[in-house]
Amino acid sequence: MDNIGIHTARDAGHHAANPGLQGVVAATTRLSSVDGEAGELIIAGYPVGEFAPRARFEETLHLLWYGALPNSAQLKALGDALAERRELPAITLTVLRDAAGARIPPMDLLRMAAGTLSGGEDQEAALTLVAQLPAVVAASWRLLRGEEPIPPRRDLAHAANYLWMLDGTEPDARRTRALETYLNTVVDHGLNASTFTARVIASTGSDMVSAILGAIGALKGPLHGGAPGPALDMVFEIGTPDRIEPVLRSKLESGERLMGFGHRIYRVRDPRAEVLGREADRLFAGAENRSLYLLAKEVELAAVRLLAEYKPGRNLQTNVEFYTALLLHGLDLPVQLFTPTFTLGRVGGWCAHCFEQRTVKRIIRPESSYRGPIDRVWSPLEGR
């Protein structure tokens, strides 16, 4: 067996490995800036709270891809370009039908179907990916439930089309706004794992579809995009205001983590939680289940207070997942579609990063520090 732990002469003079690449700056970007100490997220110059609750998702795409908000002619052109590409190719639908028949979960269906989308040059591929991924997610969900996919509508914009394709109900302005705010809020977030993955693949000269496929694989991991469901489970488990304190205390005393709190980078409240919390307030205004929003707010306040008590000095605050879960639930999205829906926002950022990476003209190729033996002698098969 290999003696993996051996340190050898080859390591002499090598730098120590930095497995999480923490503190390593691997790209310059004009797309977003994350300041964890100040609790600040800037997207292409705009604080996230300034533009996310106002912009249509098409405006956000224009901002990230072309550097400025569009005028009305540019917005129409981008909207038309997406509308022309929204219909899924036959091969994608065939793959989805077969895979949904095998009960493959939605995020895996998205990964499989994304690979069937047609590539081409970067601009064309980016438009196709952004236009078609919502149709893929909506069709997957319907096929998994034994229903036929609903075709997109030319008269609906991007966010509204997604909600339409999910259940065939035309969303009102409040629901559309809530989804746009969510997609805008999560569109980009520095050099996170999936964005880095996309940039690594783009740096090899590979095509845009491959870069986005890799990014989807990275986003799927529970340490990255796969966590919003449990934050909602916790609120449901608590159920009523009188149970908040005892349930949270018992979780903390048994060493459990409170889902939706804490962040590697943010030491203050995640600015995205602020934006999504306000949007959830609007979405749940007058809603039958407004009490769920009010309960979640109370859970948040108590959780932050108890985390300070049980984990003093750690600065554990609300993260993006807490209100993501509530907002997406308020849009009637099932938990299984939370991470796929996150993908539909982040894909705009991934494509923008690929455009940027293309201008670098240098492959991303770090080094590893070899920690194995160096003087082994070949032994023939029969002698092993």
Footprint on this chain of ligand ACO (rule: CB under 6 A):
227, 257-264, 307, 311, 314, 316, 319-321
Contact 87, 97 (CB under 8 A): no
Is 245 assigned a catalytic role? no
Query: Between vectors from CA 208 to CA 320 and to CA 202, what angle results, nearest 5°?
Result: 85
Tokens coding 26: 């691997």
User: Residue written as tokens 């550097």?
Assistant: 67
If the CB atoms of residues 46 and 261 are measured against ligand ACO, the closer one turns out to be 261
Phi, psi of 355 (to 5 degrees): -55, -45
Q: Which has the closest alpha carbon to 52: 233, 317, 272? A: 272
If the CB atoms of residues 116 and 317 are measured against ligand ACO, the closer one turns out to be 317
Q: Which has the closest alpha carbon to 115: 138, 132, 97? A: 132
Q: Which has the closest alpha carbon to 351: 170, 150, 213? A: 213
If the CB atoms of residues 258 and 354 are measured against ligand ACO, the closer one turns out to be 258
- Report CA-CA distances (Å) from 213 to 8, 63, 115, 306: 37, 23, 6, 40
Quote the DSSP letter at residue 121: S
The CB-of-33 to ligand ACO minimum distance in angstroms stands at 17
The CB-of-250 to ligand ACO minimum distance in angstroms stands at 13
Quote the DSSP letter at residue 40: E
If the CB atoms of residues 149 and 260 are measured against ligand ACO, the closer one turns out to be 260
**Which one of the listed residues 58, 180, 274, 321 is annotated catalytic?**
321
If the CB atoms of residues 151 and 230 are measured against ligand ACO, the closer one turns out to be 230
Q: Alpha helix locations (H) across the chain?
A: 48-51, 57-66, 72-85, 90-101, 106-114, 122-144, 158-167, 173-185, 193-203, 208-219, 228-238, 244-253, 271-284, 290-310, 320-330, 338-358
If the CB atoms of residues 110 and 258 are measured against ligand ACO, the closer one turns out to be 258
**Which one of the listed residues 62, 263, 329, 353 is annotated catalytic?**
263
Is 321 assigned a catalytic role? yes
The CB-of-4 to ligand ACO minimum distance in angstroms stands at 26
If the CB atoms of residues 224 and 290 are measured against ligand ACO, the closer one turns out to be 224
Contact 113, 140 (CB under 8 A): yes
The CB-of-277 to ligand ACO minimum distance in angstroms stands at 14
Q: Which residue is nearest to ligand ACO, using beta carbons? A: 262
Phi, psi of 49 (to 5 degrees): -70, -15
The CB-of-46 to ligand ACO minimum distance in angstroms stands at 20
The CB-of-316 to ligand ACO minimum distance in angstroms stands at 5
Quote the DSSP letter at residue 14: P
The CB-of-34 to ligand ACO minimum distance in angstroms stands at 11
- Report CA-CA distances (Å) from 317 to 107, 268, 307, 308: 28, 6, 8, 9
The CB-of-267 to ligand ACO minimum distance in angstroms stands at 9
What is the CB-side half-sphere exposure of residue 191 using CA atoms within 13 A? Answer: 16
Rounded distance between C-alpha atoms, residue 384 and residue 9, angstroms: 27
If the CB atoms of residues 57 and 261 are measured against ligand ACO, the closer one turns out to be 261
Please give the positions annotated as active site: 263, 321
